Amino acid sequence: MKDISQLKEEFLKELKKAKKAEERRKICKKYIEEELSSVFCSIKNLAGEKRTKIGKEANELRRFILEQQKKEKEKRKEGEGWIDVTLPGNDPEMGTIHPLTQLQRRCVDIFSRMGFLAVEGPEMENEWYNFDALNFKEDHPVREMQDTLFVKQKNRESLPAKDKLLMRTQTSPVQVRYMEKRKPPFRIIVPGRVFRNEATDSSHEINFYQLEGLMVGENISVANFKAIINFFFQELFYDDIDFRLRPSFFPFTEPSFEVDISCSICAKKGCSVCKNTGWIEVMGAGMVHPNVLESAKVDSAKFNGFAFGVGLDRFAMIEHKIDDIRLFYGGDLRFLKQF
Ligand code: FA5
């Protein structure tokens, strides 16, 4: 450790040599942020009286350098001349957090409280993770359910599925990516952006956000799933929300369901948002298909679980009573500044 009086001498020498104010400011900064902070770091290793003595000297030197720094600043102000402090200042332009980001953060927080870990995966995926590993059979018409944006590649047809690139159509591929590297039990959520080659309308975009959930362990049942999403809906909407499961089909879950929530806009009486049914479809879900567990090298005889995928944009539309999904992506500040 450097001797403090020697350090002060060096500081004064350097300061005297410096011709420009800018150089002098840099020297003060260097001595406070580098030289003195390394002294303060080493002090903790000293014992008893020595520690007190050096600590005191170092603090005095710090005060001395701060004083020099202040003088430099004052000199600069004088050089700049007179400032009219009564003139109005420039208001800084304040941004707001995008409503979808706000919602995503709230969802992550709710699931974290139930022990779910938030993980991410690539937006540019390959066919194997997006389809094959999720039990979408090759040439099965179900691949058409999610119109895919494929990435142009030379000799694409001759490539193996793991090299054929596409923009992921769902967050479900992250289920497999996560499971294949770890041992159950798992409890994860995957927030992220997904892409589909669709004609846009008031409830469909070509890119939107999903939140995937996956829970795998021993003896997991649909009752566990219902308990988890019940808590999620109540925390999200601060309300007692009715929900129902309807039978559905996804290649990667068996049995599969769609989850509907009661329409909070019309209190189940029927309106344009719920298309007069009193219910709004908000997620796909089901018990993870054994083939998916096997694709990720998880023993399907021992472990099972559930998965679900929420469309976050549609949740945000319900939450803020927004009737057109395209407003989220239009970049119109008059819209965005309301959140
Ligand atoms: C899926 O994407 C499945 N991966 C969900 C899933 C996960 C099922 C895990 C089972 C287990 P689906 O294509 O239905 O499913 O999309 C899920 C949600 O995304 C829909 O409920 C809807 O809210 C939203 N969504 C779908 N297409 C669009 C779109 N074009 N624009 C905006 N939101 C959309």
The ligand 1 atom nearest the CA atom of 314: 23
Strand partners, 257: 247, 285
191 CA → ligand 1 middle, Å: 13
Q: Are 318 and 265 in contact (CB under 8 A)?
A: yes
226 CA → ligand 1 middle, Å: 18
284 CA → ligand 1 middle, Å: 6
d(CA 57, CA 6): 11
196-211 pLDDT per residue, tens: 998 898 888 999 999 9
Answer whether residue 216 shows pLDDT above 90. Answer: yes
147 CA → ligand 1 middle, Å: 12
pTM: 0.74
Shared domain for 72 and 107, answered yes or no, is no
Shared domain for 184 and 60, answered yes or no, is no
Average the pLDDT over 128-133 and give the result: 95
**What is the pLDDT confidence band of residue 115, given thresholds at 50, 70 and 90?**
very high
Answer whether residue 221 shows pLDDT above 60. Answer: yes
What is the span of the domain harbouring residue 63?
4-80
154-207 pLDDT per residue, tens: 999 899 999 999 999 999 999 999 999 999 999 999 999 999 998 898 888 999
- Among residues 50, 80, 110, the one where a domain terminates is 80
CA distances from 294 to 9, 133, 299 (A): 71, 9, 6
The CATH number that applies at residue 331 is 3.30.930.10
By most ligand atoms within 8 Å of CB, the mutation choice from 314, 318, 325, 326 for ligand 1 is: 314
196 CA → ligand 1 middle, Å: 10
Residue 147 lies in a domain: no
Answer whether residue 153 shows pLDDT above 80. Answer: yes
**CA 326 centroid distance within chain:** 21
Q: Whose CA is nearest to atom 14 of ligand 1?
A: 284
DSSP classification of residue 201: B
Among 130, 134, 294, 303, smallest CA distance to 215 is for 303
Residue 131 lies in a domain: no
Ligand 1 residue neighbourhood (C-beta within 6 Å): 146, 170, 172, 196, 198, 204-205, 208, 210, 212, 250, 253, 281, 283-286, 307-309, 311, 313-314, 325
9-21 pLDDT per residue, tens: 999 999 999 888 8
- Among residues 45, 80, 115, the one where a domain terminates is 80
Number of Cβ within 10 Å of residue 127's Cβ equals: 23
Shared domain for 177 and 325, answered yes or no, is yes
Q: How many residues does the chain have?
A: 339
Residue 88 lies in a domain: no
Answer whether residue 80 shows pLDDT above 60. Answer: no
Q: Whose CA is nearest to atom 31 of ligand 1?
A: 204
User: For the chain, what is the domain count?
Assistant: 2
d(CA 300, CA 287): 12
pLDDT at 323: 84
Cis amide linkage into residue 251, ω under 30° from 0? no
The DSSP H or E segment spanning 256 is: strand 253-262
Shared domain for 75 and 110, answered yes or no, is no
Average the pLDDT over 11-34 and give the result: 89
d(CA 177, CA 249): 22
Q: Whose CA is nearest to atom 5 of ligand 1?
A: 309
The ligand 1 atom nearest the CA atom of 308: 9
Cis amide linkage into residue 185, ω under 30° from 0? yes
Average the pLDDT over 221-240 and give the result: 90
Answer whether residue 77 shows pLDDT above 80. Answer: no
Residue 263 lies in a domain: yes
Least confident of 76-85, 199-208, 249-258: 76-85
Shared domain for 50 and 175, answered yes or no, is no
